[in-house]
Structures are given as C-alpha cells and as structure tokens.
Amino acid sequence: MQPIESFEVPAPSKVNYINAQYGLKSWLLTKDHKRIALLYLASITFFFFIGGIYALMIRLELLTPQGDFLQSTTYNKVFTQHGIIMVFFFLIPSIPATLGNFLIPMMIGAKDLAFPRINLLSWYVYLVGGLITIYALLAGGVDTGWTFYTPFSTTFSNSYVVATGLGIFINGFSSILTGLNFIVTIHTMRAPGMTWFRMPLFLWSHYATSLIMILGTPVIAITILLLAFERVAGVGIFDPELGGDPILFQHLFWFYSHPAVYIMVLPGMGVISELVANFSRKNIFGYSFVAFSSIAIAVFGFLVWGHHMFVTPQSVYAGMIFSFLSFAVAIPSAIKVFNWTATLYKSSISYDTPMLYALGFIGLFTIGGMTGLFLASLATDVHLSDTYFVVAHFHYIMVGGTLMAYMGGLHYWWPKITGRMYPEGWGRFSALVIFVGFNLTFLPQFIAGYLGMPRRYHAYPPEFQVFNVLSTAGASILGFGMLIPAIYFVWSMRYGRHAEPNPWHLPGLEWRTQSPPPTENFEVTPIVTWEAYEFAPPEETEVVGRFGPELERT
Amino acid sequence: MIESHATTQEVHGHRALQHHFENMEQQREAGTIGMWVFLVTEIMFFGGMFLAYALYRNMFPAAFASASNHLDITLGAVNTGVLILSSFTMAMAVYFTQVGKQRPQIIALVLTLILGLAFLGIKAVEYHEKYTDRLIPGHLIPGASFGPAVQEHDQPMDAHKLHLLPGATLKQVEMFYWIYFAMTGMHALHMIIGAGLLIFLIIWSMKGRFDPEYHGPVEVVGLYWHFVDIVWIFLFPLLYLLGRHFEH
Amino acid sequence: MSEHIVSVRVYITIFLALLVGTALTVAAAFFDFPWRLNTIVALTIAVAKATLVVLYFMHVRYSARLVWVIVASALFWMGILFAFTFSDYFTRHWLSTGY
Ligand SMILES: [Cu+2]
C-alpha cells in the first residue's frame, strides 16, 4: 500500500481559514481552533517578550559582582516576575495552546476541537489572568520568587502577592479548559480508521500533557487561593501561629509544579518525535514505547515532588522515597531519547531548520535531564540546592527543551499555518546562533553553581564574575538569535514563498489538505488506512512527492 | 466512533447538532465525557482542602472536636436532607427529559433550584450564627475578628460559648474554622454556580429546546449538581459530626 | 451505544437509601466506638452514599468504561496526593534529632 499516493489532495482553493472572514470581530469571536491558535501565538509571544526583558535585566545586573544596576529589592522583583511570566504565561501554554490547538483536530481528521466555545473561552481566561498579573507587576510587582513560599508570601512580603496570585489562579482555568478539550477531542473526535496506535506521537504527548493539566492544575489553583485568603484574613492554614505548617504549602505547590515541568516538556517531546521521524524519513523506532512513555511520565511525574524539599523539614524517609522515584522518572524520558537516536541511526536525515532544532533539543534535554539526577540524589542536593546549578538545570529543560521544540515545531508547521515558507537559510543560521548562545549562557552557570554561587542574589563574590560575564555574553547571543526568527516570520507572512499543501512530503493527515487549511480542515472527513510515519521504501522516494498534476514539478 | 461516517440525512438530522460533530450520539458523548473530566478537576480542587483538613485534624484532634461540636448539627442534618432531595429532583429532571415530558421536567428543575436556594439560605443562617459568636477566623470581617467566648466549667452552660475539650487551644479552634469556612464557602460557591446553570436550563426548557434526542445540557448540569451533593455528603460528617462522641 | 434510562423506582429507592444513610451517620456519631473507629464508620457511610449517587443518579453503572476509568483516576490521584504528603508527616518524628 502506498498511502501517500492513494490520497487525493483537493485542488487548492482560494478560501482558507485566514481569508474566510475579515475584521477584528471575526478574530475575537472566532470558534475556529486554528484562529484561536493564532490568537494564542500572538499573546504568548507578547508575554515571552516581557519575560525576556526581565531576563535581560537579570543578566545585566549580574555582569558585575556589585549590585550597581538594580537594588536588591528591585532585583528580587525582577527575577520573580521573569519566572512567573515565563512559567505560567509562556512555557505552560506555549506548545499546547498554539501548535496543539492548531494541529490536534487536523491530525485526527476532525473539523474542530470538541468544544470550540470553551476553546475561545480559555483564551479569554488566559488574557484576563495575564492582564491581572501585568497590573500587579505595574502596580508594584512581586518579590516572593515564582514559588510563593510561605510564610514569606503570606506574612512578610509587602508586594502584590494577592493580585499576582489571582492572575495565576485565573490563568490556571485556561490551562484546565485546554486540557479538558484535548482529552475529550482525542477520545471522541478521531476520524474513521484513526485508531489510538495510528495517532502521531504528538497526540500521545498532548494527551499525557492534558492529563497533568486536569489533575494538577486544580491543586495549584486552590493552593494559591488559600494563600491569597491567608494574606487577606491575616491567618490561615499555612500560618504557624494557628499551628499550621508552612511546608504544607510546598507540598501542595510542588504537587502541581513538578508535573508542570512535564506540561512544559511533554508537548516538546511530541514535536521532537514528529520531527525526528519525518526528517529522517523513517518510522519512529519503538512507536508504542514512545507513546506509553508519555503516559508513564504523566503518572510518575506526580510521585516525585518532594525532591524540591530535601533541605526543608520534610522527613528524610519521605526524602528517600522521593529521591528514588525521581531517579525512576528519568527512565521514560530516557526511553524517548534512545528511541529518537535509534530512529536517526542509518536514516536519510535532511538538516532543515526544524531538524536542527530537534537535534539541539535531544542534546540539551539530555544534559538537562542528567544534571537533574544530581539534584535528585539526597546528599548532592544539599550542596547544590538553591545554587546556579539548579538554575542551569531547569533552563536546560525549559529553554533547551521546550523552547527548542517550540521553535522547531513553529518552523515545521509554519507553511501549514500561514501558507508561506520561512527563509531556510536564515532559519538554519538562527538555529545555530540560538544553540550556541544558549549553551554559552547556561553551561557556565553549572560551574558557578557547583562552586557555590547561590541563586536569587543581586550581588556575588568576585570569583564568580568570569562565569557571569560568559553567561551574559551568551544571553546576548541567544537574544539576538531569537530576534532573527521573529523578524523573518513576520516578513514571510507577506513576502514568503507560497507553501504547497505538503512541502516536506509527509504522510500525516495535516499535510493532506491545502495550506493554509480551509475552515473545516478537510473537504470530506478522511478515512485513515495507514499507520503513523508510514513512509514509502527508500527506492521509491522519487514518487513520494507526487500529489496531483499541479504539484508534479516538486 | 468507527460508524460515525454517517449518511447525509443523519448529519443534518437534528437542529441542535453542532457543525463539527458527525452526529448527535458523538455530540452527547463528548458532552458527558467533558463534564466527567471537569469533575475530575473539581475532585482535585476540593482534594487540596480535604488534605489540609485531614492533616490538621490529625494534629489537633481535641481542638477540632471542640470546634466541631459548636456547629449546629440540626441545621447541618436538615441541609443534608435538602441537598439529597434536590439531587433526587435533578435526577428526575433528567429522567423526564429523556422520556420527553416537558412539563414535569420543568417542575423538577424548578424544585431543584428552590431546594438549592433553601440550602444556601440555611447555610447563611449558620454563617450568621458563627458571625455573632465571633468565630470567623482572622480579621476577614472588619470589626469582628476571631474571639469566641469560652465556656468555663463553673459557669452555666451557654450555647453561644465555645466548650474547649482538654488539650485544645483557641488558636487551633481558629484553624478548624478557617478550614470550615474555606470548604463550606467553596461548596456554597459551587451551589451558586449550579443555581445559575439551573436558571439557564429552566429558560431553555420552557422554550422547548430539549427532547429525548437532545438533552445533553440537562444531563451535564445534573452530573455537576450530583457532584456538589457528594462533596456535601463528605463535608457533613467530617465537619459536623467528628467530635460528638466526646460530648458525654 | 444508546443511553440507558433508569426507572423512577430506582431513583426513589436510592433517594430513600441516602436519607437512611444520613440518619445512620448522625446516630453513629453520638455512639462512642472503640479504637477511635468513629471516623472510619462515618467515612464508610459517606463513601457508601457517594457510591450510590455516582452509580445511579450519575448513571455510571450504565455508562461506558471510559467514565469508570475517569472516576477511578480521580480517586487514584487523590490517593497519591494524600499518601505522599502523609509519608512526610507520619515519618517526621522517626528521627529524634528533631527541629
Ligand atoms: Cu521537580
């Protein structure tokens, strides 16, 4: 069976989801998942920019050992706000709300998500939460760290904790609604023949992500709410004066916030699975292992939160359990990495921009994951806790992982989303710049942290300056590298080469409709008769690109 | 799901069928599963508070018993009955929609709404009692910060005074009331949201929107209403009854 | 799968059972059970009542397996939250160094 040839792509028509309707109202009241994805893309980019400015301020301050650029109190607010904006308003919604929103219905052959209105609602909820948070930042900011630890946040901090908490609380519902929509969609909206094990791995990883979203987010919601009320009432359940235990806050906080790391990185893993298989033109090695490892990560991710509390009064016995399980949770991630590399082995890799990001992801995620094991060991963690080692570790996961995957995915599906090609040369160049800049930023932080430089201080002993200068230089390169795609993406929307329905010549359902897709995605509901990543044998690659007479030239 | 490749007549079968679903069955299934997934988030939401309750009750058993004994068991029990009855009428509303009897369906929905409001009314009476006994924790209410009168052994029994069991402190009692107000308050908020949803259902039912083929909204609101009932089924013994056996 | 319509008789039976359960839990609360069993008794009755509501009022007994899985997973994750948090609190005093 040669599925790609047997599938007829309808002749490109001029009407697609972008030009089907015009006007601001048609965007703000849209129920089309693809348009909502674009709304998310715009707002997430905005928040990423704000978070980036805070990052810039941090790196500028740390250029010298003295606190000469920012006062200590200002610095506390700057790193807190960097964390809050980047975690809650960029990383968590990034891939699911944009690429996931756009692609999940298309990949399963559905016309839309199960609840289009709830999908739009989730964007507005996100916006309201974001605006409240921005109000809090403008009114005076927060200085608790993105973790809001009690009793500092409840009793001692004089900053805008309640308003920020409210923003995060509201934003949580956006995440819950997105997760709910994905789960129901994947369960009930699959096209005929699209069985679970024919689904692209992107869907498996988003399903696992959604599980975490609906199981974890409510807990952080109630925790933040109780914290806000505790500030208002003056007493509360985390208040030692009433016999309360401040550590309980950390339990509830990390019950969500460790799994939240997987909300950030699981969708990225889904993107990477797509990129690795499709750009090496080979079925993924061990499909079901990669699929189930996503679910395993979602489940085991909930069993390890105590590793953030090794240096608190948490019982050492609980610490031992959490340490052991933290090592165990590395297994499903490692399964993915091994399967990706096994897929690459002896395949015909094309080094297009998305694939460069994918390869970058695999390397950086591996470093991030391995250094996580240092932190998961009880004794080592006592030394490394709250140092720059931790900062470097989680940036390798969140930036080296999630951001790389996000950028890779954005390039990969850009032709489908906009109907235009991005400039490939600039794409490869900026991918390399970002990779170099990222490593120069965060590799020195491992060393500084290992040597004992603590995080969250605006001044530091002079012997750490060399690492910080390197880091700031790297951050500048990274920032510059991020600007290039920002410019050429905008440029390409108007001037880019028109994209074919299937510029990469791939079998996935999303490539079997025009670019950009029509409002209902497919002219007729597709019937799926092929497996995911079913490529024609190598000797037939010449015919792979054949879709219809007008595309024969490719 | 596999047979969802419907014929054209079926696709355009029902006026309530949304464009992105293949048929009514798929639409109903999506709605029901969606509500169940939402209830999972609700369980986890209340779960955080149940955890705090369990932890502190385990730490301060005497204070929690003393504080709990001060709650009005009669009102609590009556409210449990009211809520169970409202769950029954809600179930009947779903039943009448399923069999297509519009009038009884509207009556059942209105009864559910009335019972829900009755629950909230009784809850308000209880809250007011706690307010006059100065049992609202912290300084949430300006001018009425926490400070109940304590029953001494040599004084005549006063229902408005707090009877502290041996080993209980007033601060720990305040902790109980914090959790009490957090949990019952959050439950009451869910009741209010449920009442709002019921009003929509009643209006739509009167317009004749629902029939045996299309009644997803009634069913889904029903699930939500029963869930809120279940939360109370746990709250009632855990908050009102936990220390009664110490009383004699 | 078309939906199952539960009969009125079943609904009435469940309603009465729930009322009986409520009366039972109030009565049991005033009785001093040995070995601090009061909480266990109260929770058992509450779980029984909740199960009746879930199975009949919420139709889970007649629902697809997926709904069962969803309900079970919610309870399972609640279990994780409780078990791991208490694994800390119940073992804190095992080391006598204290804090
Ligand atoms: Cu963690």
Q: Which helix (H) or strand (E) holds A151?
A: none
- Please check whether residue A234 is in contact with residue B138, taking contact to mean a CB–CB distance below 8 angstroms: yes
Q: Which residues of chain A have a pLDDT value below 70?
A: 1-13, 536-554
CA distances from A166 to A76, A130, A206, A220, B100 (A): 20, 10, 27, 12, 44
pLDDT given for residue B90 in this prediction = 96
C75, burial (CB in 10 Å: exposed 0-12, middle 13-18, buried 19+):
exposed
pLDDT value at residue A372? 94
Q: Is residue B13 part of a domain?
A: no
Residue A148's region, left for phi above 0, alpha for psi from -120 to 50, else beta, is left
C43 touches chain B (CB under 8 A): yes
Please give the structure tokens belonging to residue A194: 């699209």
Tokens in use for A531? 């497996």
- Does any CB of chain A come closer than 8 Å to the CB of residue C94? yes
Six token digits for residue A146? 């993105």
Task: Tell me how far the alpha carbon of residue A308 lies from the centroid of ligand 1, in angstroms.
Answer: 6
Q: How far is the CA of A319 from the centre of ligand 1 (A)?
A: 13
Residue among A181, A4, A304 nearest B30 (CA): A181
Cβ neighbours, 10 Å, residue A139:
12
Helical (H) or strand (E) element with B240: none
Nearest to B38 among A180, A219, A223 (CB): A180
156-215 of B, contacting A, C-beta below 8 A: 169, 171-172, 174-175, 178-179, 182, 186
Model confidence, pTM: 0.93
> Hey, is B68 helix, strand or coil?
helix
Interface test with A, best of B45, B173, B186, B190 (most A CBs within 10 A): B45
Give the whole-angstrom CA distance, residue B217 versus residue B212.
12
Chain C positions touching B119 (Cβ under 8 A) are none
User: How distant, in Å, are the alpha carbons of A224, A243, B208, B210 from that of B135?
Assistant: 24, 17, 47, 46
Tell me if B129 is assigned to some domain.
yes
Query: By three-state DSSP, how is residue B19 classified?
Result: coil
Touching check for A490 and chain C: CB below 8 Å?
A: no
Q: If you search the block for the tokens 């706690």, which residue do you land on?
A: B130
Q: How far apart are CA A492 and CA A249, in angstroms?
A: 47
Cβ distance of B179 and A235 shorter than 8 Å: no
CA distance A122 to chain B (A): 14
In a mutational test of the C interface, the residue from A189, A190, A305, A315 whose CB has the highest number of chain C CBs within 10 Å is A315
- For testing the chain C interface, which of A176, A186, A214, A215 should be mutated: the one with the most C CBs within 10 Å? A215
The reply to whether residue C94 touches residue A317, judged by beta carbons under 8 angstroms, is yes
**Partners of chain C (3+ Cβ pairs below 8 A):** A, B
C80 touches chain A (CB under 8 A): yes
**How many distinct structural domains can be found in chain B?**
1
Chain C residues lying within 8 Å of B229, measured CB to CB: 53, 57
Distance CA B92, CA A165 (A): 41
Cβ–Cβ < 8 Å for A515, A179 = no
Q: Write out the two tokens for A283.
A: 């079925």
Cβ-based burial of B19 (10 A; exposed 0-12, middle 13-18, buried ≥19): exposed
Q: Is residue B12 part of a domain?
A: no
What does A52-82 look like in DSSP terms, one character per residue? HHHHHHHHHHTTSSS--SS-HHHHHHHHHHH
3-state secondary structure of A214: helix
Of A444, A405, A426, give the one whose Cα is nearest residue A480. Answer: A426
Amino acid at C1: M
The span from the CA of A387 to the CA of A380, in Å, is: 12
Segment 277-316 of chain A within 8 Å of chain C by CB = 302-303, 305-306, 313-316
Contact A236 B5 (CB under 8 A): no
pLDDT truncated to tens, each residue of chain B (248 aa)?
333 444 444 445 677 888 888 888 889 889 999 999 999 999 999 999 999 999 999 999 999 999 999 999 999 999 999 999 999 999 999 999 999 889 999 999 999 999 999 999 999 999 999 998 889 998 878 777 888 888 887 777 777 888 888 889 999 999 999 999 999 999 999 999 999 999 999 999 999 889 888 888 999 999 999 999 999 999 999 999 988 887 75
Q: Is position B35 within any domain?
A: yes
In three-state secondary structure terms, C7 is coil
Which position has the token pair 């969606």? B34
Helices (H) and strands (E) in chain B, counts: 7, 0
Residue A252: its H or E element? helix A246-279
CA dist A381 → A309, A327, A385, A454 (Å) = 10, 13, 5, 13
By CA distance, what is C51's nearest residue in B?
B230
Hey, is the C-beta of B29 within 8 angstroms of any chain A C-beta?
yes
> What letter does residue C34 receive in the DSSP assignment?
G
Do residues A271 and A404 make contact, with C-beta atoms less than 8 angstroms apart?
no
pLDDT of residue A20: 87
Contacts of A392 (CB under 8 A, 6+ apart): A371, A442, A443, A445, A446, A449
Task: Write the DSSP string, A278-323.
Answer: HHTTSPPTTHHHHHHHHHHHHHHGGG-GGGG-TTSS--HHHHHHHH
The confidence score (pLDDT) of residue A119 equals 96
Cβ <8 Å between B34 and A176: no
In the prediction, which pLDDT does A67 show?
Answer: 86
- pLDDT on residue A51: 96
Task: Compute the distance between CA of residue B179 and CA of residue A226 in angstroms, rounded to an integer.
Answer: 10
Residue that has been written with the tokens 């997987």 in this structure: A262
In Å, what is the CA distance from B92 to each residue of A401, B98, B102, B195? Answer: 52, 10, 12, 17
pLDDT tens string B85-116: 999 999 999 999 999 889 999 999 999 999 99
Burial class (CB in 10 A: 0-12, 13-18, 19+), A30: buried
Question: Cα dihedral sign for A37, A38, A41, A47?
Answer: negative
Residue B11 in any domain: the answer is: no
pLDDT of residue C1: 40
Phi, psi of B209 (to 5 degrees): -75, -30
State how far the Cα of A303 lies from the Cα of A251, in Å rounded to an integer: 11
Confidence at residue A183, expressed as pLDDT on a 0 to 100 scale: 97
Report the residue from B41, B52, B169 with minimal CB separation from A218.
B41
In the block, which residue shows the tokens 């995080």? A455
Is some CB atom of chain C closer than 8 A to the CB atom of B3? no
Tracing tokens 């390169």 back to the chain, one arrives at A477
Confidence band, pLDDT 50/70/90 cuts, at residue C33: confident
C 45-64 residues with CB < 8 A to B: 45-46, 49-50, 53-54, 56-58, 63-64
Q: B122: how many CB neighbours lie within 10 A of its CB?
A: 17
Phi first, then psi, for residue A498 (nearest 5°) are -60, 135
Query: Tokens representing A126?
Result: 């996100």
Q: Which of C26, C80, C85 to mutate to test the interface with B (most CBs of B within 10 A)?
A: C26
Q: Which residues of A touch C77 (CB under 8 A)?
A: 215, 302
Cα-Cα end-to-end distance for chain C: 60
Q: Report phi then psi at C44, rounded to 5.
A: -60, -45
Q: Which residues of chain C does B36 touch, with a Cβ-Cβ cutoff of 8 Å?
A: 67, 70-71
A111 contacts in chain B (CB < 8 Å)? 19-20
CA A397 – CA A476 distance, rounded (Å): 20
Structural domain of residue B63, as residue ranges? 22-142+158-246
Q: Which domains does chain A have, with CATH numbers?
A: 24-553 (1.20.210.10)
Report the CATH number at residue B92. 1.20.120.80
Residue B103's CB is within 10 A of a number of other CB atoms, namely 9
Q: How far apart are CA A273 and CA A358, in angstroms?
A: 9
Among A270, A226, A546, CA closest to A405: A270
Closest CA to A36 of A204, A182, A202: A182
pLDDT at B4: 41
Sign of the C-alpha dihedral computed for residues A313, A317, A323 and A329 taken in this order: negative
User: To 5 degrees, how large is the angle CA A345–CA A351–CA A356?
Assistant: 95
Which of C5, C16, C22 to probe the B interface (max B CBs under 10 A)?
A: C22
Q: Which of A193, A235, A252 sits opposite B178 (nearest CB)?
A: A235
pLDDT at C63: 86
Which residue among A214, A223, A527 places its CB closest to the CB of B37? Answer: A214
**Nearest CA distance, C92 vs chain B (angstrom):** 13
Q: Which of A419, A406, A518 is nearest to A99 (CA)?
A: A406
Rounded distance, CA A324 to CA B216, Å?
A: 46
Q: Give φ, ψ of B175 to 5 degrees.
A: -60, -45
CA of A333 to the centre of ligand 1 (A): 14
pLDDT of residue C67 exceeding 80, the answer is: yes
CB contact under 8 A, B33 and A215: no
Tell me the C-alpha to C-alpha distance, in Å, between residue A188 and each of A112, B14, B31: 12, 19, 10
Tokens 């297509």 — which residue?
B100
Instruction: Count CA atoms closer than 13 A to A472's CA, side-chain side.
Output: 15
List pLDDT tens digits, range A467-516.
999 999 999 999 999 999 999 999 999 999 999 888 988 888 999 998 89
Distance CA C10, CA A542 (A): 66
Q: Is C87 on the interface with A (CB under 8 A)?
A: yes
* A and C: number of Cβ contacts within 8 A: 41
